[in-house]
Amino acid sequence: MFRCGIAYPRCRWIVPLLLLFAIVFDIIAIAATSGWVEDEDAKTDYANMWERCRGGDDDWDCKSLHEYSWAQAVAALMIIGLIILIIAFIISCVALCCSLNISLLPLIGGLLILVVILQIIALIIYPVKFNEQIFEGNYYYTWAYGFGWGATILCIGCAILFCCLPRYEDELTGLAKTKYIYSSA
């Protein structure tokens, strides 16, 4: 009647798709002009990864954050993480979609762990240093900053999958018999 099992061959398409979503989330976080941080009260002050703007309606005074070394480090870490993530995506497409190359999966997992480390450092440095050096009232972190964390969380999950998938080579190729988690008679 009803059987529930894991279809491992679907991982060949789903995992690279998750990496594509992580790339899109990273691009949104890096390119967001509306800000990673906004003034909570009057919405007259915001800062993104590149600049801090003050003003209102049509009169905004924007200054680059890259006079601060921590802002340069955040930008560099996020961009390097994005580049490594794109490389991991390309390798995953070659390893899983074109032909099944199990030996590349741990390499992809290692690259994703590196991306996670770089982006966690960047996403922690930004609020700490912003609050130390620029903080002037109550701020909250916006959806753009959240997309950076979303990309990082997707990379954590994909890194775990890529490190575990080599154990299931027969299942990925479709040679193994499907193991059902649940089967009703």
Q: What is the pLDDT of residue 183?
A: 61
**Mean predicted confidence (pLDDT) in 67-82:** 92
How far, in Å, are 1, 125, 131, 164 from residue 128 at the CA level? 55, 5, 5, 34
More confident residue, 180 or 1: 180
Q: What is the pLDDT of residue 80?
A: 97
More confident residue, 114 or 68: 114
Q: What is the span of the domain harbouring residue 149?
A: 2-184
- Grouping H, G, I as helix, E, B as strand and the rest as coil, residue 2 is strand
Nearest residue to 77 (alpha-carbon basis) of 119, 113, 105, 37:
119
> Domains in the chain: how many in total?
1
- Which neighbouring-strand residues pair with 2? 184
Average pLDDT taken over every residue of the chain: 83
CATH code for the domain of 114: 1.20.140.150
pLDDT digits (tens, 9 = 90+) for 106-133: 999 999 999 999 999 999 998 888 778 7
d(CA 43, CA 36): 13
Q: What is the pLDDT of residue 149?
A: 94
